[in-house]
Amino acid sequence: MQSQKKEHPTSGKNPIALVTGANKGIGFQIAKALSHNGYTVYFSSRDLLKGVSAVKEVGGKSEAIQLDVTDSTSITSAVSKIKGEHGKLDLLVNNAAISNTGLHGRTLAQALADQMASVASINEMRTVWETNVFGVLGVTQAFLPLLQNSNTPRIVNVSSGLGSLTFNMDPSNPHRYMFDVIYGASKTALNGITVSLAIELEKLGIKVNAVSPGFASTALNNFEGTETVEEASMEPIRVALEEDGPSGIFTGPGGVIIPW
């Protein structure tokens, strides 16, 4: 299908990227790699000072920007800032996510047990989905006009293999017991949004993909993951930097295709 995207006068110059939740963890590693590859990167964080600190560590053509994906006013302000400074966005990485509303002395295993469907707090589910699902779509919708001003527009949604329904319905999968309705199902919903966007935006030439970092040791899981953040960031970085790849693909560590 041919793209109907219009050429923008600045679209081929100085690639611009926005990474949500870029002040730490996987988001920081993605933003740093993009910066080192010639991008002007907006390191977004809810707390602007944390973003400023991250940018100072990386250097290059980077800038901190305040962005709370659950706050429409914050999203609008971020769009206005990037539009005023560059008039376009080449790459949107939706990385910001939470796994629970706070461990509150619980281990990861205890928190996971509390998030199973039969006992899960509906209020906690709403809070997590507000960031992981509705926040992602809200940010994406707001930045679509700027993405349409790029020659190489891409959206990368940082998901999780835990969200794969195919994997979770496979009895041989030893991790299927971890599929909960608060975090795991939020990634399933995110995958659904990714597929919907990929199909709709194909005609505009905007590529939309999902990527799983694997089980990284980050604040998301109380640093109980099995991979370092540097190891886990390799596939998200590869997908983010790929300008001429496919759309509508879900990959994991090593570029392995993950079934939706």
Rounded to whole angstroms, how far apart are CA atoms 47 and 74?
A: 11
Rounded to whole angstroms, how far apart are CA atoms 30 and 40?
A: 13
Options 32, 88, 187, 207, the catalytic residue: 187
Rounded to whole angstroms, how far apart are CA atoms 189 and 45?
A: 23
Identify whether 83 is a catalytic site residue.
no
8 Å CB contact between 219 and 196: no
8 Å CB contact between 183 and 115: yes
| Contact partners, residue 38, CB within 8 Å, separation at least 6 | 15, 61
φ, ψ of residue 167 in degrees (nearest 5) = -60, -45
Identify whether 183 is a catalytic site residue.
yes
Rounded to whole angstroms, how far apart are CA atoms 61 and 63?
A: 7
Options 32, 39, 88, 183, the catalytic residue: 183
Rounded to whole angstroms, how far apart are CA atoms 22 and 76?
A: 18
Q: Does residue 44 sit in helix, strand or coil?
A: strand
> Residue 227 carries which DSSP code?
B
> Residue 242 carries which DSSP code?
-
Residues taking part in catalysis? 183, 187
